[in-house]
Structure 1
């Protein structure tokens, strides 16, 4: 499947889902309590799904078990963040008002967002609207746009050489990449960004451009495409995946997770 066909299918699926998926407030979510977490160690990981499947996907593919089995003392929340929230431009508000603020009131002090594909875009868009409000984001094969803005950045020689220009508030790609340009200018980063993707992903153009502004050690590239197999490979602690960037005080568990492979 070539890149243009993949984008066309993505857009078609997005339009179809936009017709049937309506955002609600507060946003529904699944909650997973960590066996390692304590009242003195209140950390929350919010995981954002991609376009396909449901918000049970992280449990079904073993990512939740991987967090707990390897000693990461994070409770996990997985919102039902379907495309309707993106279409309505309300995802960031729902994450902030329905999940993060109530969690702070309960005593949670550290927050991370991990997002795959469309969810990676959602994680970054949250940062553009609530900068400095969380400790870090982990982007797994994120969808960061196509053509247009990305071509301009690439032709300029990368984000560091790109010149910002006025844009319409409705242009989400310009909004995102303008924020990333500003993020690159920060001497001390307000929020850590970690990135992982497969070397034959449909959307490597944006992923590579983002990787160029991240510090050494913040990008992981594995063999694979835009698939759940690649997602598990990127995440798995056993293969040096992105999950190891989460702070971990608890002892490493001897239990090893057996990942489901279709």
Structure 2
């Protein structure tokens, strides 16, 4: 049985929905406390926002993302949203890539804030192959959602709007840079700082000012 996902929502009847996934040990309330919800209101953006609570047990068991699709994404389409964006911070960014890769065409844009590039097993395999362009996934690797995400990154759709932001001193910055390099230069931004909320708040501000959403 799928877990019932808890969310925090801010909905004003906009035609675009942003669904944000959490980082490890992060709760939807953290997005609220960091001002992610209030900045949409402050800027007068026509954007609805849903922050989802996913615990590590749900993620590890593989139950989290099917529940996300069944309980949040599919009903949002049925409610008539013209666009649905998926995004997240750190592990939430990786989950965004994984779910997007496994449900092609489900999303109209991605917002990746400090996206965790995956385990060393995943990233080292790509490095040993000589980099992403040279890496060819094995059937066994494609059983793993992290490898499927990187497989998708080899050739993402040219017209899909994507924002990738990270701190230049983030401990995972090398892997994040590799993710960013899969998209046009204008789609990514590195700012000073590490793997921390002040950096993510700056990146969220840049994302909201990118004229992707109407006022």
Cα distance in 1, alignment partners of residues 87 and 152 from structure 2: 19
- Please give the secondary structure, in 1, of the residue aligned with 2:189: strand
Residue 57 of structure 1: aligned partner = 30
- Map Cα deviations across residues 64-108 of structure 1 (whole Å, 9 max, x no partner): 111221122111111112222211212221121101211222221
Q: Which runs of 5+ in 2 are unaligned?
A: none
- Map Cα deviations across residues 44-72 of structure 1 (whole Å, 9 max, x no partner): 11111111232111111111111221122
Residue 114 of structure 2: aligned partner = 141
**Alignment match of 2:209 (pick from 223, 244, 256):** 244
Is the CA contact (8 Å cut-off) linking 1:117 and 1:140 kept in structure 2? yes
Cα distance in 1, alignment partners of residues 170 and 101 from structure 2: 25
Residue 223 (str. 1) matches residue 188 (str. 2): no
Is the CA contact (8 Å cut-off) linking 2:3 and 2:64 kept in structure 1? no
Residue 208 of structure 1: aligned partner = 177
Residue 147 of structure 2: aligned partner = 174
Is the CA contact (8 Å cut-off) linking 2:98 and 2:146 kept in structure 1? no
Residue 151 (str. 1) matches residue 129 (str. 2): no
Per the TM alignment, residue 157 of structure 1 is displaced from its structure 2 partner at its CA by 4.8
Residue 30 of structure 1: aligned partner = 8
Larger of the two Rg values belongs to structure: 1
Is the CA contact (8 Å cut-off) linking 1:71 and 1:248 kept in structure 2? no
Map 1:74-93; keep pairs closer than 5 Å: 74-93=47-66
Per the TM alignment, residue 173 of structure 1 is displaced from its structure 2 partner at its CA by 2.8
The 1:211/1:154 distance shift into structure 2, 3 A limit, reads farther
Per the TM alignment, residue 171 of structure 1 is displaced from its structure 2 partner at its CA by 3.0
Residue 100 (str. 1) matches residue 84 (str. 2): no
CA RMSD after TM alignment: 2.1
Q: Which runs of 5+ in 1 are unaligned?
A: 1-22, 251-262
Is the CA contact (8 Å cut-off) linking 1:167 and 1:174 kept in structure 2? no
Is the CA contact (8 Å cut-off) linking 1:42 and 1:74 kept in structure 2? yes
Is the CA contact (8 Å cut-off) linking 2:167 and 2:194 kept in structure 1? yes
Residue 168 of structure 2: aligned partner = 199
The 1:167/1:56 distance shift into structure 2, 3 A limit, reads same
With normalisation by structure 2, the TM-score equals 0.89
Paired residues in the alignment total: 215
Residue 114 (str. 1) matches residue 87 (str. 2): yes
Cα distance in 2, alignment partners of residues 245 and 114 from structure 1: 15
